[in-house]
Amino acid sequence: MNSILQMTEKLNNPSPKTTQPLVALYCGSRSGNNPIYKEKAIALAQGIAAHGFGIVYGGASIGLMGQVADAAVQQGGEAVGVIPEFMLDYEIAHHNLTELHVVRSMHERKAMMAERASAFVALPGGLGTFEEILEIATWGQLNQHQKPMILYNVNGFYNALIAQLDHAVQEGFLPPQHRAKLIVCNASQQIFSVLKNLSCPKQFVV
């Protein structure tokens, strides 16, 4: 436990160092079985940086998470990582970032990412990725923010989730206006078009 606390003190950056607006990228700590997921993730991160944005993500150096961070930094973008201290045993923290924050809990991780982000993009991922984008969509439904929320539907990855969301609308559980706030993009250019229209983000309340 002492070693974790020492690492926390060493890695955590309490003061923001970024100068760019940040896009939250929710993505897997694995790369997936199809190379297209890695290819599209890297291209997206490069494009985000080329458009003058930085990224905020889960802070790991593995899987799609590490690849988007590397791609953004190599393209000249800023990258902010946020990782809970208990996950340092599971996900190797990325050390080549503009900021790396080691926080106490998953809630703190998600709250910090939400506060720092001007928009949210879910790439392919597992349970954590699903939970993150759906929670941020829930916060949007509760008027806690007005920031864009995007499903990056690489290779049809989110087709089943999109169908479930539409089914929830049809069955009367999800208001259509809130379903519409979760934007589906099949190509990175569609995401960049959304980012171009960003205004200064409203203060986030958690």
Q: Which residue is associated with the tokens 């950056």?
A: 13
d(CA 161, CA 153): 10
* CATH tag for 23-196 (out of 3.40.50.450, 3.30.70.340, 3.40.50.1700, 3.30.70.260): 3.40.50.450
d(CA 182, CA 195): 14
List the chain pLDDT tens, one digit each, 206 residues. Answer: 333 334 444 445 546 788 899 999 999 999 999 999 999 999 999 999 999 999 999 999 999 999 999 999 999 999 999 999 988 877 688 888 999 999 999 999 999 999 999 999 999 999 999 999 999 999 999 999 999 999 999 999 999 999 999 999 999 999 999 999 999 999 999 999 999 887 544 444 43
Q: Model pTM greater than 0.75? A: yes
Phi, psi of 149, rounded to the nearest 5 degrees: -130, 125
Neighbours of 88 (CB within 10 A): 18
